[in-house]
A and B are shown apart, each in its own frame.
Chain A
Amino acid sequence: MIEVRHLTKRFGPKTAVDDLSFEVHSGTVTGFLGPNGAGKTTTLRSIVGLASPDQGDARVNGVSYRNLRAPMREVGALLDAKAYHPGRRARDHLRALAVASRIPVSRVDEVLGLVGLADVAGRRAGGFSLGMSQRLGIAAALLGDPPVLLFDEPVNGLDPEGIVWARKLMQALAAQGRTVFVSSHLMSEMALTASHVIVIGRGRLIADSSVQDIVRGSSRTSVRLRSPHAELVVPRLQEAGASVESSDDGSLMVTGLEAAQVGDVAFQAGAAVHELTTVQASLEEAFMELTQGAVEFGAPEEPGPTGSAPAWGDPVATGGWGPSTGAPGPQGGQG
């Protein structure tokens, strides 16, 4: 388990991490999300003692990193893919780390095989691509077979195949009961990898919950309605408190009501329904919404139409359509 308590870190006048507290538990992949400059790397560096916080502290299994008895056997960390000397062979790099940590040298070839670098272990690391460097960094993190793992932007530079590999690796590590904490600014990637996310912006905690909850809580979850009688439904939907936008393809995007409620309204309006689909906000959208205003280096925002009325329509008796029917109904609607 990783505990971060009231962590504050300043660089000159700039506060990189501001009274940040959270816990990361074992057995799941926990994503660490935030826009660039949000303080993710500073937080990770504080956890492993590379940066010393101005206030608060970070502990791994109750102990600060610098006081761990056998650090690399208790925590594995990939912070900087290029944390090696370019003139040293990949295998020699890992061997030195193994020796320093009293890890059997035989483990070096094991982890090199695990990350797919066995064939290039004898090459000088300076010739490695970014993707290969990431793999070498992951190998170093796994060297001590640690129960706690931290990865800072591990899929940077990996090819699509490598990204899938890294995702499976992290999920497998978590399934073994380890604590796996992965930072990323790629929400789509985290949506696939992590089951829990900690979101920060400008050094502060924005969200700490499961991916599902974050997506579900987003106001951008909406219902796509396709109907030949749009003019009948729209006023009723608006009466029911929903906001309706028409899309380019002629469908209506309804926000503020659940699919069942939209179906009911359409039924009562006597409109045929050709499609009724719940459109989940992606984690990316949910994230954008969460971190609005907490973006460090943002482009000027365009005043987008929000208009998500919070009111919920009256829950009428259940109609013919379930909450989220995926396929568009080809056989036309009832009513």
Chain B
Amino acid sequence: MSGAAPSGQAAAPGGRTGPSPAGAGGGAPGLADAVRAEWAKLRTLRTTAVSLGLTALFAIGLSALACLLTASHGRQPRTPPTLSIIQGGWELGLLAIMVLGVMAVTNEFSSGLIVSTYLATPRRSRVLIAKVVVFTSVVLVTTEVVSFADFFVGHAIIAAYPSFPNVGISFPNVLRAVVGMGIYTTLLGLVGMGAGAVVKHTAGGIAACVGFIFILPGVLSALPASWSNPIGKYWPTEAGRQVVLLTHGPNSLSAWWGTAVLGAFVVALLLAAGYLMDRRDA
């Protein structure tokens, strides 16, 4: 590669104007500029579109497969799991979006880009806010689209087997669960982002998230019920999951209270991340 050294050596800045203390552009850059910059960054990395696309494809594909296999074997589902079959591909989608969230922050640290980012926007909390805004917008739109596509594909497949109980979007709570899947996934992506900002390393951030979302709840359930019930009820990911379920157990929060708990956890985590980013040397 080094052989391809740039040829344009006529590089002396001869014709340039003198220093212009206020610079060439308009006024002082603000949050909106940081958001636009983060959007420009996200847009110009091939991995963004690839990982979102693959996530969508796998989530929908796996769900479709699950619907096809279950419905064609005619196994009667226990009440009322048809929706959970339709949304069956999502565990993978959750993990993928969470990893995307971790990497949205850690790729800056691992590549060294963070130095350029902080030089352009030395108010680091502004960098984090801009990242959160862009990530939330992109991921929420994507996951909602995928969640609805997922639902209608699964619905259509099951509809081909009339003996199998189907769910419609107008059934009680189904619309909420489909919309909720996008919200829940996006919030978990933000957990990934917060973890990435705290840990600064991709592998560490992913490990923290997997432990938090998939492993600790399992450990929790091994505790005596008097302990595990109240903890499990408010455990952020368990609470947040309620929004994709059609019914809730006695030891669970309601759909939207659960979402609020996960949301509050995300806010707290991001505040901590912003504090740490501000305090630590880059």
Q: Which A residues form the contact surface with B (CB < 8 A)?
A: 45, 48-52, 61, 65-66, 68-74, 77, 79-80, 82-89, 92-93, 95-97, 99-104, 107, 113-120, 127-132, 135, 140, 142, 144-147, 159, 161-162, 165, 168-169, 172-173, 176-178
Residues of A within 8 A of B2 (CB): 129-132
Name the B residues within 8 Å of A99 (CB-CB): 33, 36-37, 40
Other contacts beyond A114-B11, A129-B1, A176-B13: 5, CB < 8 A = A52-B281, A79-B119, A82-B111, A116-B11, A129-B2
Question: Interface stretch among B14-22, B65-73, B90-98, B214-222?
Answer: B14-22
For A48, A97, A147, the residue with the greatest tally of chain B CB atoms inside 10 Å of its CB is: A97
B47 and A104 contacting across the interface, CB-CB below 8 Å: no
Residues of B within 8 A of A104 (CB): 24-25
Contact status of A132 and B116, CB under 8 A, knowing A45-B281, A96-B37, A178-B19:
no
Task: Tell me if B84 is interfacial: C-beta within 8 Å of chain A.
Answer: no
CB pair A132–B29 under 8 Å, yes or no, is no
* B122 interface neighbour in A65, A80, A127, Cβ under 8 Å: A65
A128 to B123 CA separation, bound complex (whole angstroms): 29
> A71-B119, A103-B25, A131-B5 in contact; A83/B113 too (CB < 8 A)?
yes
Task: Give chain B's interface secondary structure class.
Answer: loop
Subset of 5 A-B contacts with CB under 8 Å = A72-B119, A73-B22, A83-B112, A95-B44, A144-B23
CA distance A84 to B34 in the complex (A): 17
* Beta-carbon contact of B45 and A88 below 8 Å: yes
CB distance from A55 to the nearest CB of B (A): 15
Q: Which of A66, A74, A140, A145 has the most CB of B within 10 A?
A: A145
Contacts of A115 in B (CB 8 A): 6, 11
> What are the residues of chain A within 8 A of B26 when measuring CB–CB?
102
Contacting residue for B45 out of A52, A87, A129, CB 8 A = A87
Q: Is A102 in contact with B27, judged by CB distance below 8 angstroms? A: yes
Interface positions, chain B 33-52, Cβ under 8 Å from A, are 33-34, 36-37, 40-41, 44-47
Q: CB within 8 A of A132: which of B6, B23, B44, B108? A: B6
**A residues within 8 A CB of B279?**
52
A48 / chain B contacts, CB cutoff of 8 Å: 119, 122
Q: How many angstroms between the C-alpha atoms of A92 and B45 in the bound complex?
A: 9
CB atoms of B18 and A177 under 8 A apart: yes
Q: What residues on B are CB-neighbors of A116 within 8 Å?
A: 6-11
In the complex, how many angstroms separate the beta carbon of B3 from the nearest chain A beta carbon?
8
A146-B23 in contact (CB<8A): yes
A73 contacts which chain B residues (CB < 8 A)? 22-25
Given contacts A102-B27, A104-B25, A120-B6, contact A147 B108 (CB under 8 A): no
Q: Which of B153-205 contact A (CB under 8 A)?
A: none
Question: Which of the residues A61, A72, A84, A100 comes within 8 Å of B112, measured between beta carbons?
Answer: A84
- Residues of chain A lying within 8 A (CB to CB) of residue B117: 100
Q: How far is the CA of A211 from the CA of B1 in the complex (A)?
A: 37
User: In the docked arrangement, what's the CA distance between A147 and B16, Å?
Assistant: 13
Nearest B residue to A97, CB-CB: B120
Contacts of B121 in A (CB 8 A): 71, 100
A177: which B residues are within 8 A, CB to CB?
A: 18-19
Asked if B34 and A87 make an inter-chain contact with CB atoms under 8 angstroms apart, the answer reads: no
**B227 contacts chain A at the CB level, 8 A cutoff:** no
- The answer to whether A74 and B21 have CB atoms under 8 Å apart is yes
7 smallest beta-carbon distances between A and B, as pairs: A73-B23, A100-B37, A147-B19, A129-B2, A92-B44, A116-B8, A69-B28
The reply to whether the CB of B115 lies closer than 8 angstroms to some CB of chain A is yes
Alpha-carbon distance A207/B13, docked complex (angstroms): 31
Query: Which residues of chain B (42-91) have a CB below 8 Å from chain A?
Result: 44-47
Query: How far does the alpha carbon of A49 sit from the alpha carbon of B36 in the complex, in Å?
Result: 23
B22 touches A70 (CB 8 A): yes
Q: A161 touching B27 by the CB < 8 A rule?
A: no
> How far apart sit A196 and B11, CA to CA, in the bound complex (Å)?
24
Q: Please report the C-alpha to C-alpha distance between residue A217 and residue B120 in the assembled complex, in whole angstroms.
A: 41
Residue of B whose beta carbon sits closest to that of A129: B2
Q: Known interface pairs A116-B9, A129-B2. Does A95 touch B40 (Cβ–Cβ under 8 Å)?
A: yes
Q: Which of B14, B22, B24, B33 interacts with A100 by CB under 8 Å?
A: B33
* A101 touching B116 in the complex, CB below 8 Å, given contacts A85-B108, A86-B111, A147-B20: no
